[in-house]
Chain A
């Protein structure tokens, strides 16, 4: 019985290993920082140099000569990659300066996001997410990376709870005494009003 358990464990571990190998098996890019490796070898010749992020990720394609037809987006959250390398027509991000539309060939931009609606347009489909905050990078090769702390599809938001939260935080803002409390209450009010606007708008 123990042998079976051990065998099952080994096979499970092998499966787990296989699963991990398949995702972590990005071929080592030659984009290593050779200066770093050289300096490392001088200081610690017996220890293998640690890996650096450049070697662990796929290199990005270079900027094409003509403007591509589609925008490739990566939408990541801490607990999952919501959208990875998907080709879409347009994406509208809620930047601090307002809703920003990104089309293929958009100029390279770094935008900080505020709580609001992110919509992804692919043909006739529009997927909307409510994003709490984060950053959006648009690169010259028509790749847009959106990193958000939290995002939910709009249909998963409960309007009654939004209203309740809004009234609660407005009350807290009124009764806040210290700066910290005021800041927290203000953030609550901002997020809930944005949620409200997202649901209605």
Chain B
């Protein structure tokens, strides 16, 4: 009874005239943990910390789930990527690779992802593409972009809007297969003029390591010129062309086929890298959430104990004041 009266007294004191001392007392725990006491509360409330803990726990669950999803998708895509690795090797064995070729019209095909939360792989691809753009632009040369994937588009549209020739999104709506890529390659080849195509993607080395890679594909005319002048394109001339049509037609078909094969492998490798990067990003995010949760739990316990102590102190001091 006495305690109830005291408690009511205490409340009235707090509400009516928060004296500077009382305000300081209220504010000092508030300084270390702001918003600890919502206005009108009788003692320090743990509600806010509890809310934060709940939301952090939810975030941890979500990121853990995203990591598991990425891991399971990665297993499937990784098998297909490894199987497709043999596809571009015959072309490189035949035609060699000439990234330092000097041509007038360069087209940079950047393969990026549509979804985010996948670490830094899209930024790396965009950085490499921009550096290639700088490398291949010059007084008489020009360089254009063809972008596959939303994330690359968003980043490149900011400063290179004029150089973007074509953008493609929703590449991974259905699992990547060769037919889809072949149609896409056909589209690009029809609509974009090029002397050299540079396909930029992230090659999947392992679950934690992705290396930006660039594959150069020359148009048939440039290829003929290069094979005549230097030895880099190999001894293309020494190869007999089996086919009814002219050499240039066969070379044209060869270029188109090479482009679609390289793009297929590139898209698969990039998808693998995206999933691997997402796995590690989500993993570090759930670990961070776990750390945050630990810290919040400590805060929560401290707040709870402080409020109990405060209540007890009030009661005891009130009781001892009564006794005299």
Contact = CB atoms under 8 A, between A and B. Distances in A.
Interface in A25-52: 33, 35-36, 39-40, 43-44, 47-48, 50-52
A25 to B, nearest CB: 8
Interface string A7-36: 001001100110111011000000001011
A37 to B, nearest CB: 9
B50 interface: no
B100 A33 contact: yes
12 contacts: A16-B75, A17-B206, A24-B206, A44-B134, A51-B211, A52-B99, A53-B215, A79-B80, A96-B243, A110-B254, A139-B94, A147-B87
Contact of B211 (A12, A33, A50, A57): A50
Contacts of A78: 84, 87, 178, 261, 264
Q: Top 6 nearest A-B pairs by Cβ distance?
A: A145-B90, A111-B242, A44-B131, A81-B86, A78-B178, A36-B100
B242 A50 contact: no
Given A33-B98, A147-B87, A50 B240 contact: no
Given A47-B127, A112-B253, A97 B83 contact: no
B204 interface: yes
Interface string B245-261: 00000100110010001
B117 to A, nearest CB: 18
Contacts of B131: 40, 43-44, 47
B99 A112 contact: no
Determine the interface band of chain B, counting residues with CB < 8 A from chain A.
35 or more
A165 interface: no
Contact of B74 (A16, A39, A97, A149): A16
Given A51-B214, A79-B84, A109-B242, 10 more contacts: A16-B78, A19-B78, A48-B212, A51-B211, A52-B216, A57-B89, A57-B92, A78-B261, A110-B250, A111-B243
Nearest to A57: B89
B86 A137 contact: no
Contacts of A140: 238
B278 interface: no
